[in-house]
Amino acid sequence: AQKITQTQPGMFVQEKEAVTLDCTYDTSDQSYGLFWYKQPSSGEMIFLIYQGSYDEQNATEGRYSLNFQKARKSANLVISASQLGDSAMYFCAMREAMDSNYQLIWGAGTKLIIKP
Amino acid sequence: DTGVSQDPRHKITKRGQNVTFRCDPISEHNRLYWYRQTLGQGPEFLTYFQNEAQLEKSRLLSDRFSAERPKGSFSTLEIQRTEQGDSAMYLCASSLDQGTGYFGPGTRLTVT
């Protein structure tokens, strides 16, 4: 079974609109972390935002926020006021057990294209 | 620039040749990770170092692959007798303990 599921292979969004990228996860651990990374066409994997399973507040970083719904096991990324430079692949990833190594489990990614 | 760096950025090699990639992590980071990413997929974990000790290796890492981090700073990933299936992006990441991992720009390998 997939541990990280990103159901949107690709999305087109008009510039300045908000975007929600879906991510659901599957784990039996009580302690885990969820990450979103952006990968532009250059290939570099850029860290965007992190949510710990015990964090009570949804994480926010500038225009990025994470809509964390623990009971539904979802961790959707919301990008407000999208920009042309947001066009990239976006990956959701999970780290199980907070004392483990950094072996992330990755989703298949969503390709986001921002239209002018 | 104090980010993770990787060299080379691109490598084209013929099947059967050996290749070596280098990763320089963020200087204060004690953990270093290698991932492989094929087109249209998320990264797959290959191996992980804490300081100079290689603590975990994926079963993806066949005996043709070897990784080192001799002084606990930079790391090398060598692939011997390359095969076309080795064509991929090889990503390196570093972290301070269990903190967030920061990735380098990757090395894109093409085996012809």
Task: Provide mean pLDDT across the span A56-85.
Answer: 96
Residues B101 and B34: beta-carbon distance below 8 Å: no
pLDDT < 70 regions, chain B: 1
Helix (H) or strand (E) holding A48: strand A46-52
Between A43, A98, A108, which is nearest B108 by CB?
A43
- What distances in angstroms separate CA B81 from CA A52, B90, B110, one per listed residue? 42, 17, 13
Helix (H) or strand (E) holding B102: strand B102-103
Residue of A nearest to B94 (CA): A102
Q: Residue B90 contacts by C-beta under 8 Å, 6 or more apart in sequence?
A: B6, B21, B34, B35, B36, B37, B46, B77, B106, B107, B108, B109
Task: Provide mean pLDDT across the span A107-114.
Answer: 96
Question: Which pLDDT belongs to residue A50?
Answer: 94
Residue of B nearest to A104 (CA): B45
Which position has the higher pLDDT, A28 or A69? A69
Between B55, B102, B108, which is nearest A101 by CB?
B55
Between β-strands A24-25 and A4-5, what pairing exists: parallel, antiparallel or unpaired? Answer: antiparallel
Question: Which pLDDT belongs to residue A7?
Answer: 94
Is B51 an 8 Å CB contact of chain A? no
Question: Which pLDDT belongs to residue A98?
Answer: 54
* pLDDT tens profile A1-29: 669 999 999 999 999 999 999 999 999 88
Question: Which pLDDT belongs to residue B41?
Answer: 87
Question: Which pLDDT belongs to residue B40?
Answer: 83
Question: Which pLDDT belongs to residue A99?
Answer: 47
Residue A100 binned pLDDT confidence (cut-offs 50, 70, 90)? low
Is A36 an 8 Å CB contact of chain B? no
Q: Which of the residues A42, A44, A46, A49 would you substitute to probe the B interface, choosing the one with the greatest number of B C-beta atoms within 10 Å?
A: A44
Residues of chain A found within 8 Å of residue B105, distances taken between Cβ atoms: 42-44
Which position has the higher pLDDT, A95 or A2? A95
Q: pLDDT > 70: what percent of chain A?
A: 93
Give B110 to chain A, closest Cα distance, Å. 15
Give A70's DSSP letter.
T
Residues B54 and B72: beta-carbon distance below 8 Å: no
Note whether B31 contacts A101, CB cutoff 8 Å: yes
Question: Which pLDDT belongs to residue A11?
Answer: 94
Provide the mean pLDDT of chain A: 92
Note whether A109 contacts B40, CB cutoff 8 Å: yes
Task: Provide mean pLDDT across the span A87-112.
Answer: 84
